[in-house]
Amino acid sequence: MVRLTMTQTSSRITIDTPIRFRDFLPEQSEVVIIGAGVIGIFTALYLARMGKCVFVCEKGRVAGEQSSRNWGWIRTHGRDEAEVPIASEAGRLWREVDTETNGACGVKQIGTVYLASSDSEMEELVKWLPIAENYGLDTRALSASEVQDLFAGGSTHRWVGGTCTMSDYRGEPWTAVPAVAELARAVGAGIRENCAVRVLDIAAGRIQGVITEEGRIKCEQVVLAGGAWSSLFAHCHGIQLPQLSIRATVAQTAPAPEVSQFNCCDEELAWRRRADGGYTLARTGHHGFFLGPDAFRHFWKYMPVVRREWRKTNPRLASPHGYPDGWRTPRKWEPDEQSPLEDTRVLEPMADRSYVTQMGNLFAERFQSIGRPNILDSWAGMIDTMPDVVPVIDRVPTVEGMIIATGMSGHGFGIGPGFGRVIADIVAGYSLDHDMTRFRLSRFTDGSKLVVGSSY
């Protein structure tokens, strides 16, 4: 068992976080994983347990970007139907690694509750109930009085009802993925921070290795799990991946009285109880969006989700310097020159202060007995999203040995171990337990109609 506690890494991960993983760069590995977020680290863990030689290259810090900047929800509730069985497995796997890391992942079963402030919103929520029933989940609808009972009379907001799945969990993102990384390393995976993969070494359409900023690693398979950077890296190799990124702002409150332990959200506010006694707050479905070359290139693919989400989108005319879709960000570079991946070690967008103010106001309106919470910190992350809000988990047909695992669309933390195990099986050539048709790369080019999934 890896002996870790949450206090060892109980602060937010940034570029100033000391390097913890600096394993020797090998000359050869069976598999190289690009990106040490939740997907890359869990894939490494399960590959190492299969006896595979696997090395993870991370340009910045383990979980330095969205994998430590999310809400911390581990849920099946409300997911795209194709994700439900994988998310169900992920809950079990999260419990396992939490035990193996002595509770360092902070996993706790608390349930997820979606709340409706209007009859029309309630009608939308109950549409998901047949999916839950089909997969045997303990999901049910809540009446207005049952919602009030959940908060023991502590809420002054009048919701008309809701839906809940009480078998869902929460985790603590600041500690969880680094703890799993320690576990992966303990069973043989290599991990190196501050080591960007610049380019793939490809010959005759097959992976021969990767060229990192510190040298070449010979390998036959590569997993691209680069989060918000995946599309830029793929584009450098002529692989079209219609992925964009949105900015999501999150806030941390000081310890406050408990109104509920659930993962909760309505149409305006999302909140969950933290292990430190405070709350994690976010605006439900609200995000910022920076316009760049890829935004215009993929505009028509995103029209269905734009039509649905435009009222909750705060656009900006240009990405800040160093962002993956920045106007001045290079789209091509050579193996012997510094890449954009090294220019921005950790993508750390500024929190949207207006959203933070709104979070405090909305929380106070819902829980007047507590009032406006004391906001200790706020931050933002760039969420890698796809036109249908569903990930890509697939082999690249034009590059033998390359697997893309990206576009988690804000849902990656909770489902991370489930997808990690699936990707490990793909790498190993094992038969898969889940239908992965929904996650194929070719859905953007084969003429299929894109069906937009859940945004939160």
The radius of gyration of the chain from alpha carbons, rounded to an integer in Å, stands at: 21
E strand intervals along 103-205: 108-109, 112-116, 139-143, 161-165, 169-170, 190-192, 197-203
Confidence of residue 8 (pLDDT cuts 50, 70, 90): very low
Q: Which residue do the tokens 């950790």 mark?
A: 346
Domain residue extents for the chain: 20-111+167-444, 112-166
Asked if residues 202 and 394 have their Cβ atoms less than 8 Å apart, the reply is: no
Confidence of residue 6 (pLDDT cuts 50, 70, 90): very low
CATH, range 20-111+167-444? 3.50.50.60
The per-residue pLDDT for 9 is: 44
What percent of the chain is predicted at pLDDT more than 70? 97
The per-residue pLDDT for 5 is: 44
> 303: how many CB neighbours lie within 10 A of its CB?
12
CA within 13 Å, CB half, 49: 14
| pLDDT over 80 at 10, yes or no | no
Two structure tokens written together for 446: 């084969």
Three-class SS of residue 16?
Answer: coil
Average pLDDT over residues 160-182: 97
Q: Which residues contact 426 (CB under 8 A, 6 or more apart)?
A: 393, 395, 403, 432
Q: How far is CA 411 from CA 74, 83, 330, in A?
A: 9, 10, 28
> For residue range 112-161, what is the model confidence (pLDDT) as tens digits?
999 999 999 999 999 999 999 999 999 999 999 999 999 987 888 999 99
| pLDDT over 70 at 1, yes or no | no
Three-class SS of residue 33?
Answer: strand
Confidence of residue 456 (pLDDT cuts 50, 70, 90): low
Asked if residues 47 and 189 have their Cβ atoms less than 8 Å apart, the reply is: yes
Residue 85's H or E segment, with its range, is helix 84-100
Q: Which residues contact 322 (CB under 8 A, 6 or more apart)?
A: 329, 340, 343, 344, 347
Give dist(CA 296, CA 254) in Å, integer.
Answer: 41
> For residue range 326-374, what is the model confidence (pLDDT) as tens digits?
999 999 999 999 999 999 999 999 999 999 999 999 999 999 989 999 9
Average pLDDT over residues 372-382: 96
| pLDDT over 90 at 316, yes or no | no
Mean of the per-residue pLDDT values for the chain?
A: 94
Backbone angles phi, psi at 330, to 5 degrees: -60, 145
| pLDDT over 70 at 267, yes or no | yes
Asked if residues 406 and 384 have their Cβ atoms less than 8 Å apart, the reply is: yes
Residue 282's H or E segment, with its range, is strand 279-283
Average pLDDT over residues 254-273: 94
| pLDDT over 70 at 3, yes or no | no
Question: How far separated are the first and last CA of the chain, in Å rounded?
Answer: 34
Two structure tokens written together for 138: 């303990």
> For residue range 30-71, what is the model confidence (pLDDT) as tens digits?
999 999 999 999 999 999 999 999 999 999 999 999 999 999
The per-residue pLDDT for 345 is: 97
Average pLDDT over residues 401-410: 96
Confidence of residue 205 (pLDDT cuts 50, 70, 90): very high
Backbone angles phi, psi at 22, to 5 degrees: -140, 50
Give dist(CA 65, CA 391) in Å, integer.
Answer: 17
Q: How does DSSP assign 208-277, residue by residue? A: EEEEETTEEEE-SEEEE--GGGHHHHHHHTT-----EEEEEEEEEEPP---S--SEEE-SSEEEEE-TTS
